[in-house]
Chain A
Amino acid sequence: MSNGQSGAGKPLLECNDLCISYFTRAGEIPAVKDFSLQLYPGESVGIVGESGCGKSTVAMAIMNYMGANGGIVGGSIVFDGRDMASLSPEELRQLRGGDIAMVYQEPMAALNPSLTIGKQLMEVPMFHENISATEAAARAKQMLADVNLPDPDRVMAAYPHQISGGQQQRVVISMALLSHPKLLLLDEPTTALDVTVEAGIVELIGEISAKFGTSMLYISHNMGLIKDTCDRVCVMYSGEVVEEGPIDTVFNAMSHPYTRGLFGAIPLPSADKRSHPLVAIRGQLPLPHERPRGCNFGPRCDFFDAGRCDAGDIPIVDGAHAMQRVRCVRWQEIDWASHRPDVTVRPEEPAGEEVLAVDEMRKYYTVHDRSIKAMLSGHSVRHVKANESITFNARKQETVAIVGESGCGKSTFAKVLTGLETATDGKIDFDGVDISHVPVHNRTPKQLGSLQMVFQNPNDTLNPSHTIGAQIGRVIKKFGVETEPAKIQQRVMQLLDAVKLPRDFMWRRPRQLSGGQKQRVGIARAFAGNPSMVIADEPVSALDVSVQAAVTDLLMDLQRENKTTLLFISHDLSVVRYLADRIVVMYLGQIMERGTTEQVFAPPYHPYTEALLSAVPIADTSVTKKRILLEGNLPSVLNPPTGCPFETRCPRKVGRICEEERPPVIEISAEHRIACHIPLEELAKAEPVIQVGKAAE
């Protein structure tokens, strides 16, 4: 985080009443309205908002890159004293990549697949400073070292697909920094990365602003990341900034109902599913051409005052704190202290009998290496150990979370459970029957119905050419719940009621639904056969923050009503902490730690759990975290370490024993297990990673 002196000197970037529109067949669609921002040298400002709020559009407008159908329809952008609209194409070219550089969301897509990284880096100084190729190569190499990439020579010669996602993003960042830009635009730079990799990039971004004094505009949907990287923040909703101010002010003394709603909807450490449940923002984001008159947030706001909030455009006004601005006509009237949002407090219910017992389950995939070398050495058949000795159980009405980064085998496990794959070895007892070797087409309708799945991306899981009613109805029939058409229809309506969708959605097709609504249909489908267990594979990670809480809520309510066991697969520890009763932490196909939520989130930790907890950004300024950064990349599943899988990246590695022997499973209590070579007494000495209540750093 920089120490930019806000308010001092001349702003580097000024957006004045900026309005940006896209022109489509349906007419002019305003993407951003009335956007004003002053960014001072050395300062980092965050723009936070949900999808479609216009945050990326602002970045692209600053770069003057809006495509053929986009354009600035009002206001101005002044960069370093120059009005961007007055620049000639050549001046604009010099500005792009020279004075303003950008880091993108998908590093793999942002790099040219058929040019070496060296060539792509060298272009920047060669075209901006007219230096020779050798000098450019030297500069590029230096910059790669500056962004902490090991072995810059190798990276220079590599093609983008030959390095990992985190390394690619470091390359993109070094490319942006090569001509020493004054302003760096970061558009969701870590969204596509794993959480431990993200932590490294966030750290790097902080170092950059300290080292080069670059101003930054950091665009993200993640409040926690904004807190970790920025000095000030603009909260956008539906094309407008609804609130802006310094981080501390916006995070602790927010005045706009939307900002308040957002913080209520994200699972902070203070939230608890029973005593302090999340408060969902009702409704959904309006589409750009369906925005209401007056306040865009009006239809979803608890403080909506007809006649004032929908009277006309709402201006942004100074708030109660220094540099705080709010776009709300009622912000001074709302008494937040006595505001008690309508939440259902859920009593604790004891878990019932065991529903699922996984015992030493293994899933290996066979890979045939057809190279001559492999054939000669006799290693032509190799195994990908997607799941290795998985052992855990789940009880009735309990929520068990499986946590881990991409490639940890959590989705493979879901496939084996649902029968899409069969286990290589071991047992999976579900409702008293071993299903580890029963593929999905051999399962009885009863078995199918009682073990269902909610998928990550609701857009892909619904058939676009069938109505919602037909899709749910088909499942009801398939599972043998009902057979008569009239009863099926009745059951469909019951399910729609249960997931809080209007009954006439029966006749709609998926394209007429929003993402959150589609996920509700996905949940209705999963619950159609009265399942005793539902596997939810990242069910909310594709949804917007304000919708996430509502869908999570719904899942929990259905779980309670049906006494369902929920197996929640996620990479997001914040959601897991909020939702889960017990947690299984996986790394490279193996269980590193398992225990109740309290046990996993408190010492003793497995070193990997510790690093994971440290990496999760938390949008709470009162939280302090121990900083643990993981070095290196996830090892290849084809060639995993022989000893402890985490050995290559472990900051607390003991020594040779970690490389050579599989770690023993330490039984700390009946529920809590850690697989590690470090003795328990050592592990127990660790301090909690997340501490609430201490003063911010």
Chain B
Amino acid sequence: MIVLLAKRFGGMVLTMLTVSILLFLLFETNIESVATKVLGPYSSDEQRQIWLEKEGYFRPLYIRYFEWLGNVVTGDFGESVRFKVPVGDVMWDRLANTAILGAAAMAVIIPLSLLLGVLAGMREASKLDRTISVLSIATTSVPEFASAVLLSAIFVFWLGILPGTSSMTGGFNLVELILPALVLILYDFGYVTRMTRASMAEVMTTGYIRTAILKGLPYRTVILKHALRNALIAPFTVIMLQFNWLLSGVIVVEFFFAYKGFGALLLEAALNQDIYLVEACAMVAVFVAVATQTIGDVGYTYLNPRIRFN
């Protein structure tokens, strides 16, 4: 188990390093363009040369890379061109906001979809199964922007009980979190539900479930002890993938509700050619992706002893 953890962790570090090299080469090989981005298109050639000299850009690429890498590891991403403050100051706040939104959504999505998926898959083709399946397909097929408009129309303009923007200007406000979280939940829970249902339905047809039933175990025990654990292996991986999506794939929702999140930040940074901010956001996004996959792998091995002991 320790060997496995070490291997996975090693793989994770290696992936991060590869991505960092690619990222660095992509953004900072052409130093002229870096200077233009930082100093703006109207800066003079002389200004750029002075800036590059000052920032040590005339040193060999690999020395600059290692310096940059050391800074990134210690959390120093440079200064944001647009906000004129260290990148970290802007980014960590935004990341925290997205984490709150993601956590709120996930706190509902995971239990809800696992429960519905298991209930549906437990007795395939039953009325409950059909109801849940139709519901989950229907909700998943509505894109985020559409459900955002729809929910706003109902709760903001018609009922008037929820705020239409979630900019959180007056500090953290739970009420402002409801609508964006709800849109995410509506869009995503159906997908995870369907994955869980398929996995559960498959498990229910296996020989070992028949064995468990014909052993005379109560149905509850059959489901909870024999079916669930095997049925959760596939949805577990799917859930882990949802974290990536929540980090950077929810730009639409963040923009719609003016929520100051990470996805929106990444988009702004890209539009403004805020080079250091883009680099930092990319590194963080990759880190989250790799980390969730590593957790997914380790958890998968835990759930599936056939992999654990080989």
User: A residues near B, CB below 8 A?
Assistant: 63, 65, 68, 93-98, 101-102, 104, 106, 109-115, 123-124, 127-128, 159, 161-162, 172, 175, 179, 371-372
Contact = CB atoms under 8 A, between A and B. Distances in A.
Contact of B212 (A68, A112, A128, A371): A112
15 contacts: A65-B210, A97-B214, A102-B214, A104-B207, A104-B210, A112-B211, A112-B226, A112-B230, A114-B229, A114-B304, A114-B305, A115-B226, A123-B217, A127-B217, A161-B305
Contacts of B230: 112-114
A238 B303 CA distance: 43
Nearest to B126: A68
Contacts of A114: 229-230, 303-306
B305 A159 contact: yes
Q: Which 3 pairs across A and B sit closest by C-beta, in order of nearness?
A: A97-B216, A109-B207, A97-B215
Contacts of A94: 216
Interface of B: 3, 125, 206-208, 210-218, 221, 225-226, 229-230, 303-306, 309
Nearest to B226: A112
B213 A111 contact: no
Interface centre among A101, A111, A114, A372, by most chain B C-beta atoms within 10 angstroms, is A114
Given A115-B225, A162-B309, A93 B218 contact: yes
Nearest to A158: B309
Contacts of A63: 214
B214 A96 contact: yes
Contacts of B305: 113-114, 159, 161
Contacts of A371: 3
Nearest to B302: A114
Contact of A68 (B3, B125, B216, B309): B125
**Chain B binding surface, main DSSP class:** helix
Contact of B214 (A65, A106, A179): A65
A219 to B, nearest CB: 14
Nearest to B207: A109
Nearest to A97: B216
B309 A127 contact: no
A128 B214 CA distance: 12
B216 A128 contact: yes
Contacts of B229: 114-115
A113 B208 contact: yes
Given A159-B309, A161-B306, A372 B215 contact: no
A202 to B, nearest CB: 21
A236 to B, nearest CB: 22
A124 B221 CA distance: 12
A165 B216 CA distance: 24
A106 B225 contact: no
A637 B129 CA distance: 47
A96 B309 contact: no
A110 B216 contact: no
Given A114-B304, A114-B305, A109 B206 contact: yes
A63 B3 CA distance: 46
Given A115-B226, A159-B309, A110 B207 contact: yes
A605 B178 CA distance: 81
Contacts of A93: 216-218
Given A161-B306, A372-B3, A112 B208 contact: yes
Contacts of A98: 216
Contacts of B216: 93-98, 124, 127-128, 179
B212 to A, nearest CB: 7
Given A65-B210, A110-B208, A127 B306 contact: no
B216 to A, nearest CB: 3
A102 B221 CA distance: 19
Contacts of B215: 96-97, 101, 123-124, 127, 175
B211 A104 contact: yes
B309 A111 contact: no
A626 B210 CA distance: 38
A68 B125 CA distance: 10
Question: Most A CB atoms within 10 A — which of B208, B216, B304, B306?
Answer: B216
A100 B265 CA distance: 65
A120 to B, nearest CB: 8
Contact of B221 (A104, A111, A127): A127
A114 B233 CA distance: 10
A210 B175 CA distance: 73
B87 to A, nearest CB: 39
Contacts of B217: 93, 97, 123, 127
Nearest to B212: A112
Contacts of A68: 125
Nearest to B232: A114
Contacts of B214: 63, 65, 96-97, 101-102
Contacts of B225: 115, 123
A115 B215 CA distance: 15
Contacts of B218: 93, 127
B147 to A, nearest CB: 36
Contacts of B306: 113-114, 159, 161
A409 B212 CA distance: 36
B77 to A, nearest CB: 36
Contacts of A97: 214-217
A110 B210 contact: yes
A109 B229 CA distance: 16
A136 B76 CA distance: 60
Nearest to A371: B3
A266 B3 CA distance: 54
A112 B304 CA distance: 11
A109 B205 CA distance: 11
Given A111-B211, A179-B216, A372-B3, 5 more contacts: A106-B207, A110-B208, A112-B230, A115-B229, A172-B211
A17 to B, nearest CB: 25
A63 B207 CA distance: 15
Nearest to B6: A372
A162 B306 CA distance: 8
Contacts of B304: 113-114
A159 B305 CA distance: 7
Nearest to A181: B216
Contacts of B208: 109-113
Contacts of B210: 65, 104, 110
Nearest to B3: A372
Contacts of B3: 371-372
A110 B213 contact: no
Contacts of A172: 211
A114 B218 CA distance: 19
A494 to B, nearest CB: 45
Most A Cβ at <10 Å: residue of B125, B303, B304, B306: B306
Contacts of A113: 208, 230, 304-306
Contacts of A123: 212, 215, 217, 221, 225
Q: Taking each of A104, A110, A159, A179, which has the highest tally of chain B beta carbons within 10 Å of its own beta carbon? A: A110
A80 to B, nearest CB: 15
Name the residue among B3, B217, B221, B229 with the largest chain A CB count within 10 angstroms.
Answer: B217
Nearest to A102: B214
Contacts of B303: 114
A658 B85 CA distance: 79
Nearest to A373: B3
A106 B218 CA distance: 23
A68 B208 CA distance: 18
Given A109-B206, A113-B230, A96 B213 contact: yes
Contacts of B221: 123, 127
A296 B221 CA distance: 43
Nearest to B230: A114
A110 B309 contact: no
A114 B301 CA distance: 11
Nearest to B208: A112
A687 B298 CA distance: 58
A639 B3 CA distance: 23
A203 B199 CA distance: 39
Contacts of A96: 213-216
A68 B129 CA distance: 14
